[in-house]
Amino acid sequence: MKRTAASAACLSALALFAGQAVAQSSVTIYGTLDVGFDRVEKSQGNVQGTVFGVSGTTPVPNSIAAPKTITQRLSPSHTRQSNIGFKGVEDLGNGWRGLFVLEGGVTIDNGGMANDNRLFGRQAYVGLTTPVGEIKAGRQASPMLISYYLVTPEALGSTDLFGAGLVVNTVQTWQDNQLSYAIKQGPITAIVSYATNAGIGSGISAARSVATSSTPVATGATGQIVGGLTAGAETASGRGKAAGAMLAYRTDALVALASYHRNNFDNVPIGVVSGTTLVPLFFGEKFTSYMGAVKYTFPGVGTSIAVAGHNAKFDLRGNTDPKVRTWTATLKHPVGAFDLSAIFLDTRFTNYTEGKDRGLMLGVDYNFSKRSALYLRAGGIKDSRGKTVVSSATPLPLAGGPGAILIPLGTQEVPLFSGAGQNIDARTTMVSLGMRHAF
């Protein structure tokens, strides 16, 4: 057994593209550990006239329902998603290789497991490389997630606002029950995938496999977050079926790509938990998204610029079909051992509430080596609530931008701010000082 450095958290998902020499048979241990001390401040929100501003039918003041808060935490996965993985390959000859990957997320602050408390919650698959492409089966990165890893100069940690479009539906990240086929010819890379249930349960809410102070434990009555621990069980109805594709042009200086994702909700209720009961606000039918992105790295300088546009649509029962448009841009510039970065975010409902979220994140990294670094991040997101709308399922109104609505409804979570959430019509800011090490 041997140990090697992994320069990115999704290295194993991109093994097809690495171009590394393969030994006759080998197993590699790799990973990234990232932890920071952060201060998260939320200004008081405005939830009046919405489902989040009432207790039963009684209005609750903003100072109680969406109070100003200041939280100091030791949190994992700010600039990289902490993980540990094992990958193996065996050379079968004539261009054929067998392979496997087992990779789990790690919460460095408490020594626990991320990804809804799964041992190998990021990836767990076996595959076969052939002269005409690579086939893999198991829990894997979606083509949409791989697309984001290829273009963000960051690495989709909680302070990487570049991933805001990716997480409007969590099954765009890691998918259960996935089959994928990838091929690389020169600078062209193509991936297609299909999942029998990528992670859509019988009900969708912010409930988790382990209860916290803010979320109840997931049950059949409460539902669970999209991509939750028990959400991926296949059913005769085909709930959770997903398909994805990516086409990319990649050189040392330029990456240009397009990506597609679609999954079936099969009329599952989407809502909030009251006590131990899921109160539906919508009934989901399907979700569709597209993304186009370009990243350019100036030769000999190392400065990189990336821009991405992501469009998503939730098809719901009735005439309420929220559409989310997200634009992000990143600038990263090396100065000696330092990396300076800036990320800009604009994400909004183009219909529905017409609420929006705008953000900026600034960063400084001091790289002791290619593996170890100290970092500082400072930035925030401002939510504008837009107009108040009534859902098609119940007469319970909603307002706010994508993050402020989709997080409490269980479709969106980390990486944004490590699950800190957002108050409606308020500003959320973060300052973080941390360290990371890759191996």
pLDDT at 15 over 90: no
8 A C-beta contact, residue 292 and residue 311: no
CA 439 vs. chain centroid, Å, equals 23
| Mean pLDDT to the nearest integer, 154-173 | 93
The pLDDT score that the predictor gives to residue 412 is 85
Mean pLDDT for 144-151 is 97
CA–chain centroid gap for 363, Å, is 20
What digits encode the pLDDT tens for the residues 348-364?
999 999 999 999 999 99
Taking the C-alpha atoms of residue 184 and residue 106, their distance in angstroms, rounded to an integer, is 31
Helix or strand (DSSP H, E) at 51? none
Task: Identify the H or E element spanning 194.
Answer: strand 188-195
pLDDT exceeds cutoff 50 at 22? no
Under 8 Å between Cβ of 244 and 260: yes
pLDDT value, residue 415: 55
Question: What is the pLDDT, as a whole number, of residue 414?
Answer: 57
Q: Which amino acid is at 199?
A: G
pTM over 0.85: yes
Quote the pLDDT of residue 77. Answer: 92
CB atoms within 10 A of CB 71: 12
AA identity, residue 177: N
319's enclosing H/E stretch is none
Angle, vertex CA 55, rays to CA 52 and CA 61, nearest 5: 70
Residue 170 CA to residue 164 CA, distance in Å, equals 11
| Mean pLDDT across 253-261 | 98
Under the banding of pLDDT at 50, 70 and 90, the label for residue 64 is: very high
Spatial distance between the Cα atoms of 292 and 158, rounded to a whole number of angstroms = 22
**E strand or H helix at 150, and its extent?**
helix 143-151
Which residues, 6+ apart, have CB-to-CB distance to 336 below 8 Å?
none
Model pLDDT, residue 330: 97
